[in-house]
Chain A
Amino acid sequence: MADVRQEEFPAVTLTYEKGDLIIKEGDYGISVYKINRGRVLIYAERHGKNVPIATLGPDEIFGEIAFFNKGGEKRSASARALEQTELEAWHPAMLSKEYQEMPPALNYVVRQLVIRLLRMNRLLVQLTEQEEKRRKALEKSDPFVSRRRFYRKPVDLECYYRPVGLQAKSRLSGRIRNISLNGLGMEIAVQNTANVSHVVGDSFVIKTVLPSGKDLDLEAKIVSLKQSETPSRLLLGLSISRLSEETKKVLGFFLLP
């Protein structure tokens, strides 16, 4: 960092333990933080519950909204350390001065962006809440979903899947995160949903190989959908709708404690 301008901005290094609150929604403050080490969860508090917005890692920035939106603006979300985390806190005075003195047209464009981001974040929090309610209602009405509470083995298996009834060439990839005889949890990239429908009720043919080397081939339907803690990823909850006797044996054996 030989950049002279960087040296003009003193940065303070802060360390947080797992679970520590870094920013509280509604508080005042315009410091900006850069993550040197660790992971930070950004979330909103709605009706006594935490709605996750994003998980950030090294070299990522947070606190930028209040910085741009200053003039008595409160923090629009909370931030909490997910593990031991080291942050660099940028003192806002110098940055603020530069922001205020930047060409007015650029300032106007940036301000618009920040307003749009705030609006879209609020919409996302609303949608996340709705999806959570939907899932809850579904759990009550669908016995298949309620049974999801049964023991599930945590795994990390690469898998391929395609919508039931479509050609194998529309093959997508994901990672199975947990599995039981009734259902499984699968993490996928958000972009998988760009061309193939991924909504509650959709069925997929899923193929993977168990650590034992045995092939697993089954059909399952989506019963829930939520954001993963990893950005741009979704977590699908699936209930198994077709499982051959042979596969059932293989899976049953794998699930033995």
Chain B
Amino acid sequence: MENMQPFMQLYLTGEENYESGDIIIEEGSRGNWIYIVLKGQVKVTKRTKLGTVTLNTLKQGAVFGEMALFGKLLDGRSASVIAADGPVTVGVLDFDLLRRDYESLSPRLRLLIDTVIMRLKETNEKIAAFVLAANRKGPGEK
């Protein structure tokens, strides 16, 4: 990614390449790598009984896996991230450096950031439940 912000370049510890359909992060697994999309697109998906719900598609410059960074330890990854649409290159960001930055913030600012993460997780859960409901037609519907 030629136009990557120089301050992000400093946090880059490596690059990984994936093919379409490769799993980059698996829902429920443990891990605290944080990634940035350098080339291609990735899909954020959540498992349900009726199949997999795609929550979002992320493009170049988007960061994912960042929920591991904030607040208390999470019970594993909350969604899967899968390479979509051709070859994908992701950059691996320095977790320890970002975590140190986060811990240097005041308690109130940290609480604000934690709130954003919590809201995003709740919203994703609700969306997955709705998508599930909409995927089957009710009685009386054509």
Instruction: Give the nearest-CB partner of A98 in chain B.
Output: B109
Interface size on A, residues (CB 8 A): 62
* Closest Cβ–Cβ distance, residue B52 to chain A (whole Å): 12
Is B63 within 8 A of A199, CB to CB? no
Q: Please give the distance in Å from B27's CB to the nearest CB on chain A.
A: 11
- Whether A200 contacts B112 in the complex (CB less than 8 A), given A120-B127, A193-B48, comes out as no
Q: Is the CB of A120 within 8 A of B124?
A: yes
Which of A61, A128, A196 has the most chain B CB atoms inside 10 A of its CB? A61
Contact A105 B8 (CB under 8 A): yes
A123-B136 contact, Cβ under 8 Å, with A95-B112, A108-B8, A110-B116: no
- Point out the residues of chain A lying under 8 angstroms from B24, CB to CB: none
User: Do A113 and B66 touch (CB < 8 A)?
Assistant: yes
Selected interface stretch from A20-28, A137-145, A152-160, A243-251: A137-145
A32 at the interface (CB under 8 A from B): yes
Q: Which residue, A114, A191, A194, has most C-beta atoms of chain B within 10 A?
A: A194
A112 touches B140 (CB 8 A): no
- Chain A residues whose CB sits within 8 angstroms of the CB of B124 once the complex forms: 120
Residues of B within 8 A of A114 (CB): 116
Q: Does A131 contact B (CB under 8 A)?
A: yes
Partner of B135 from A61, A108, A199 at Cβ < 8 Å = A199
- In the bound complex, residues from chain A placing their C-beta under 8 Å from that of B134 are 127, 130-131, 134
The secondary-structure label for the interface of chain A is helix
Given known A-B contacts A134-B138, A190-B126, A194-B48, A127 and B108 have beta carbons under 8 A apart: no
Q: List 29 A-B contacts (CB under 8 A).
A: A6-B106, A68-B112, A106-B101, A106-B102, A108-B7, A108-B63, A112-B63, A116-B56, A117-B116, A117-B119, A120-B120, A124-B123, A124-B127, A127-B130, A134-B134, A134-B141, A138-B138, A138-B140, A141-B140, A190-B129, A193-B48, A193-B49, A194-B48, A197-B50, A199-B132, A201-B138, A221-B139, A232-B122, A232-B125
